[in-house]
Amino acid sequence: MKIELVQLPGRDGDTAYNLSRTLNAIATCAGDTDLLVFPETHLSGFVGGAQLAQLAEPLHGATLQTVLQAVRQRDVAVVLGFAEVHQGRFYNSSVLVTPEGIALQYRKTHLWPSERSDFSPGDRFTTVLWRGVRVGLLICYDIELPETSRALAQLGAELVIVSNGNMDPYGPVHRTAIMARAQENQLFAVMVNRVGAGDDDLVFAGGSMAVDPFGRVLFEAGRDEVRHVVELDLDQLKAARRDYDYLKDRRLMLSGEQIEHSDGRRELLIGASQ
């Protein structure tokens, strides 16, 4: 599986610009690329208050439909983030968009303190089988909590994709966390962060990474804009679990209602959104 990490700057509140960067990346990716991964809230940027109410879109809104058309033209998939509105609530969401449609949606379950006045937290973890690999999504601060990746692993995840918006001085925190989450769950982890300056004097830390099931770094970006393709050797999933299997050997299970859907999705519900 070939995954392109698309580490880009963004413009907060400028959906048209961010969408144009997205479409250009899709149009110019290599012909054998399977998946492109973008940063957290890449389409809308980080927005709050009245601006959030103006820019947030539903799951099947116009912007994601435009992305879907581009994905179908190139026969690739993308993971990217956006500000979602649903039944009057706002969510920091990421989606896996394939030529068949939106295969997976995730609403950030662990909000950064500055988000909590604008966004509601999600209430579930979900995985889906895509091209023979079970995929789960997380967003930024989620990966600092080990239970989030463990929830996806409990649902059978073999690849965790993190849309990231991590800023200085916290870059080293996510570098350590993404390696730990891959190693302790014996799965692949891909994290794509934003770069450059944002509003409120934020400087985004870059450092996008791909990590194998042993916790070994396959690729690590710097602080500049970059597009880089990593190829995942899926045989490493079995190799990592050959001598010992953390998921089978553990004695504590995460609580929550687990649901199997007919379309192959698996969900772990952790309670109603607050």
Phi-psi sector, 27: left (phi>0), alpha (psi -120 to 50), beta? alpha
State the burial class of residue 27 (Cβ atoms within 10 Å of its Cβ: 0-12, 13-18, 19+): exposed
Spatial distance between the Cα atoms of 50 and 25, rounded to a whole number of angstroms: 30
140 included as an active-site residue: yes
Phi-psi sector, 113: left (phi>0), alpha (psi -120 to 50), beta? alpha
29 included as an active-site residue: no
238 included as an active-site residue: no
Q: Which of 4, 57, 84, 108 is catalytic?
A: 108
Q: ω into residue 169 within 30 of 0, thus cis? A: yes
- Closest to 96 measured CA to CA, from 124, 59, 45: 59
Sign of the CA dihedral running 47, 49, 50, 52 = positive
Q: Which of 4, 115, 140, 144 is catalytic?
A: 140
Spatial distance between the Cα atoms of 94 and 25, rounded to a whole number of angstroms: 18
Give the 3-state secondary structure of residue 38.
Answer: coil
Which residues are the active-site residues?
40, 108, 140
